[in-house]
Amino acid sequence: MNDNDAIKKGLEAYEAGAEKSISKFPERKPAFATGSNSPVKRLYTPLDGAARDYLRDVSFPGEYPYTRGVQNTMYRGRFWTMRQYAGFSTAEESNKRYKFLLAQGTTGLSVAFDLPTQIGYDSDHALSQGEVGKVGVAIDSLADMEILFDGIPLDKVSTSMTINAPASVLLAMYIAVAEKQGVSPDRLEGTIQNDILKEYVARGTYIFPPEPSMRLITDIFAYCSRNVPNWNTISISGYHIREAGSTASQEVAFTIADGIAYVDAAVKAGLDVDAFAPRLSFFFNAHNDLFEEVAKFRAARRVWAKVMKERFGAKSAKSMSLRFHTQTGGSTLTAQQPDNNIVRVAIQALAAVLGGTQSLHTNSKDEALALPTEDSVRIALRTQQIIAYESGATETIDPLAGSYYVESMTDRIQAEAEAYIKTIDDMGGAVKAIERGYVQQEIQDAAYSYQMDIESGERVVVGMNKFQVKEAPPKGLLRVDPIVGEQQSAKLAALRAKRDNARVDAGLAALKKAAEGDDNLMPHILEAVRAYATLGEICDVLRAVFGEYQQKVIL
């Protein structure tokens, strides 16, 4: 009798014994499931990995297919980048918050822009009213960007910017600030999110239709590979897809399908895959189910490595390595008993670390209520530091590898994601699947069933649908002064009066001509930015040439 037969026999005996106990003392519920509603067995054994080949499917850290991590020393070399997403009100206020975060030990900056900035409107635009400085910092021109990074040497920090439709404009502003600091672009490190496809399905800050948007993105790939070689040119994001309600497998599937669309577009634009793919990065959610989330990160690395090698013929290891940022799941936070959120965030952050993340944002306890205060941001950062320095999770690499459960779930998520990717391929790729509303519908269905599970009590949310208490409204929430809108408008009026408007007009005219033709747009945008053309002016030129995206409303 071989090992597996013996284990099988033993397992049958165990199950028989368990069934006997259950006939007297039933289990808590008839069926068990992960956070994403996948069935979970009572017990996992070596039998669950019978088809798995260690060298082929799991392998070693830093080696294809990177299941165990993208570097060969991982956190024994250095910890992940502790990067707290922040920004609100004016550039002056946000600059103060960044200096506070750096003083507390964050190791990278992450800029949150307000909605007008993200959608390419100046603060004095009619549609900006009421939104200026609310969910992030208001940036109208290079002048604001200079204030935002005042006293922060750009050759010493890495900066992530959550900016998508107008990513080229904000990247150009960052490059221009660096020039003024005497820092050349090849020394800049950071990331722009620049992921328009997930905006159409999950986040909503689109401007232009898919085709010109894809051109803006591939222009950035080409420009940065020559001029800003250490910049992550995109952060292909599953985070918002998950926040919109997807399951873990859908998060992996739709993110990687988007990634395939970007690589396809760049290859079609004539770029060599190994010239730009090493700078593609990813962004995932860390949700509540600890083991499923760890398996998700491991599966994502494996799926991407296979795609890059087999589909795109990438040769460079860096092109096949999925590097990712993680943020804990904002939608899991409760407005009720907000202190409990500290515990949720700790578990989610641990999942990200056990899953081998390259950088991490931990949410603050008050984020279901408002933007976080300094005190709550400090606790969120301390949570990462406790995991890094005290938990022991960082002493060896990929510590959950070999767990019958985690390995089996890694295989399951890979298989489910690959099945979705096949469906999307059959529709003609991610852009087509999004235009048809397929991706949106899948996410919404999952979101609705999640909500119904909460309302039926099947899914327990501690403090919200169970263990509730009467509580007083929370005190001391952060508020953004509505005066910010007027301040920004006044700044804009002063800027327009004092800048060299002939240079601005020439820059915008050159950009328009380039947009109508095939030139790479980045150098033209950079020139307009240097002349202090505003974000809204630049985006208006592109709107006039490219048109605007009309959302497909799916219910």
Partner 1 sequence: MERKIRVLVAKPGLDGHDRGAKVIARALRDAGMEVIYTGLRQTPEQIVSAAVQEDVDVVAMSILSGAHNHLFPRVMDLLREKGVDDVLVIGGGVIPDDDIPGLKAAGIAGVFTPGTPTTETIEFIKNNLKRGD
Dihedral angle at the C-alpha atoms of 229, 234, 236, 241, nearest 10 degrees?
150
How many helices (H) and strands (E) the chain has is answered by 21, 9
Peptide bond into 473 cis (omega under 30): no
Choose the binding region for partner 1 from 127-135, 320-328, 430-438, 536-544 (rule: CB under 8 A).
Answer: 127-135
CB closer to partner 1, 198 vs 361: 198
> Residues in contact with partner 1, total (CB under 8 A)?
45
Distance of alpha carbon 353 from alpha carbon 333, whole angstroms: 20
Beta bridge partner(s), residue 48: none
> Per CB under 8 A, does 437 bind partner 1?
no
Closest CA to 414 of 295, 308, 240, 288: 295
Q: Site for partner 1 (CB under 8 A): which residue of 78, 482, 493, 500? A: 482
Q: Looking at 17, 130, 313, 428, which residue binds partner 1 (CB under 8 A)?
A: 130
CA dihedral 389→394→396→398, nearest 10 degrees, is 170
Q: Does 335 bind partner 1 (CB under 8 A)?
A: yes
In the complex with partner 1, which residue's Cβ is closer, 128 or 394?
Answer: 128
Q: Examine residue 477 and tell whether it contacts partner 1 (CB under 8 A).
A: yes
* Among residues 38, 71, 227, 336, the one that binds partner 1 under rule CB under 8 A: 336
Contact region for partner 1 (CB under 8 A) — 28-36, 90-98, 145-153, 447-455? Answer: 447-455
Which of 483-490's residues contact partners 24+ apart within 8 Å by CB, and which partners?
A: 484/89, 484/90, 484/132, 484/133, 484/138, 485/123, 485/128, 485/129, 485/130, 485/132, 485/133, 487/90, 488/90, 488/123, 488/124, 488/132, 488/133, 488/138, 488/140, 489/123, 489/124
Q: Which of 162, 205, 233, 235 binds partner 1 (CB under 8 A)?
A: 205
DSSP secondary-structure letter at 192? E
Q: Of residues 185-204, which lie at the interface with partner 1 (CB under 8 A)?
A: 199, 203-204
- Give every CB contact of residue 127 below 8 A, 6+ residues apart in sequence: 116, 119, 121
Stretch that binds partner 1, among 90-98, 171-179, 214-222, 328-336 (CB under 8 A): 328-336
Measured from the CB atom, is 187 or 466 closer to partner 1?
466
Is residue 479 within the footprint of partner 1 (CB under 8 A)? Answer: yes
Nearer to partner 1, 38 or 334 (CB): 334
* Binding string, residues 235-274; x marks residues near partner 1 by CB under 8 A: --------xxx-----------------------------
Residue bearing tokens 């519920």: 29
Cα gap 190→155, rounded to integer Å = 10
Q: Which residues bind partner 1 (CB under 8 A)?
A: 115-116, 118-119, 121, 127-131, 134-135, 199, 203-205, 243-245, 331, 334-336, 368-371, 444, 447-448, 451, 454-455, 461, 464-465, 473-474, 477, 479-480, 482, 551, 553, 555
